[in-house]
């Protein structure tokens, strides 16, 4: 490791300890899947919450909670057993540009994934553990049934250069297991070492100030640049540094 970057690693290690604990959950979107115990409920609640995770965190949590209420706080049972009339209750749902049309397709696609593709974990599985390819494969599966064209924008496509922030955040939730009480670690089919950091405006700005990204755009190439550094800091669990970058950006206005 370049000696000049050692102080940055030490700073981030300190901030990981500060933010990667149970107190982080309250007020964060991850609080929604933490309301459930069953694996399938956790991953469905986590996926739907992550997919609407842009904008103010308070609004995200409120709207994700409302969506769980519309699904009777039993998301797996709702996904598998809904009748068309049950979907009428979804009609009022909105989160920014994610509307009822999008939400209804998400529900139908998730049903297809659980009935015909082995569930969300298997839909993200990739034999060579290449997460970029896993996301590409998942997107193909997700849109393998008839879909409204407007909904494609809500599942990021790394092939177009998108950093897939929300999907990578969801994968962090499902895969990382460090007994700190935040991430769930319920997907053993994916290794934490293969994860990518959720890259958004805040984490990108902090990473640039620390010299971990030189690229101006928050795209997949910038994410690869960031991950080169994070994997040098901790090859087995590089995405733990998401807590540090996020905390520095949101809580400390670094």
Residue 151 phi, psi dihedral angles, 5° rounding: -80, -20
Q: pLDDT band for 3, please (50, 70, 90 cuts).
A: low
Domain boundaries, the chain: 3-250
Distances (CA, A) of 163 to 90, 135, 157, 226: 29, 11, 8, 11
Average pLDDT across the chain, whole number: 95
- What pLDDT score was predicted for residue 197? 98
**What pLDDT, in 10s, does the model give residues 121-155?**
999 987 676 899 999 999 999 999 999 999 999 99
* Mean pLDDT of the region 3-29: 92
- What pLDDT score was predicted for residue 253? 78
Residue 189 near residue 127 (C-beta atoms within 8 A): no
- What pLDDT score was predicted for residue 1? 62
pLDDT greater than 90 at residue 6: no
């Amino acid at each position: 490791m370049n000696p000049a970057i050692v102080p940055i690693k030490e700073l981030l290690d300190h901030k990981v300890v500060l933010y990667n604990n149970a107190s982080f959950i309250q007020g964060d979107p991850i609080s929604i899947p933490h309301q459930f115990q069953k694996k399938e409920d956790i991953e469905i609640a986590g996926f739907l919450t992550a997919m609407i995770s842009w904008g103010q965190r308070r609004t995200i949590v409120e709207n994700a909670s409302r969506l769980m209420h519309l699904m009777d706080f039993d998301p797996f049972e709702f996904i598998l057993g809904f009748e068309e009339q049950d979907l009428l209750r979804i009609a009022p749902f909105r989160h920014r540009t994610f509307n009822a049309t999008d939400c209804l397709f998400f529900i139908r696609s998730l049903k297809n994934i659980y009935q015909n593709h082995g569930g969300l974990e298997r839909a993200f599985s990739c034999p060579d553990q290449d997460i970029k390819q896993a996301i590409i494969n998942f997107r193909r599966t997700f849109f393998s049934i008839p879909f409204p064209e407007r909904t494609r924008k809500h599942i990021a496509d790394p092939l177009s250069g998108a950093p897939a922030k929300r999907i990578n955040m969801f994968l962090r939730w499902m895969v990382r297991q460090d007994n700190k009480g935040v991430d769930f670690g319920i997907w053993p089919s994916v290794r934490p070492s293969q994860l990518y950091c959720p890259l958004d405006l805040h984490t990108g700005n902090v990473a640039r100030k620390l010299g971990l990204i030189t690229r101006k755009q928050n795209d997949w190439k910038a994410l690869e640049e960031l991950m080169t550094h994070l994997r040098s800091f901790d090859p087995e669990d590089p995405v733990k540094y998401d807590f540090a970058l996020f905390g520095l950006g949101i809580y400390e206005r670094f």
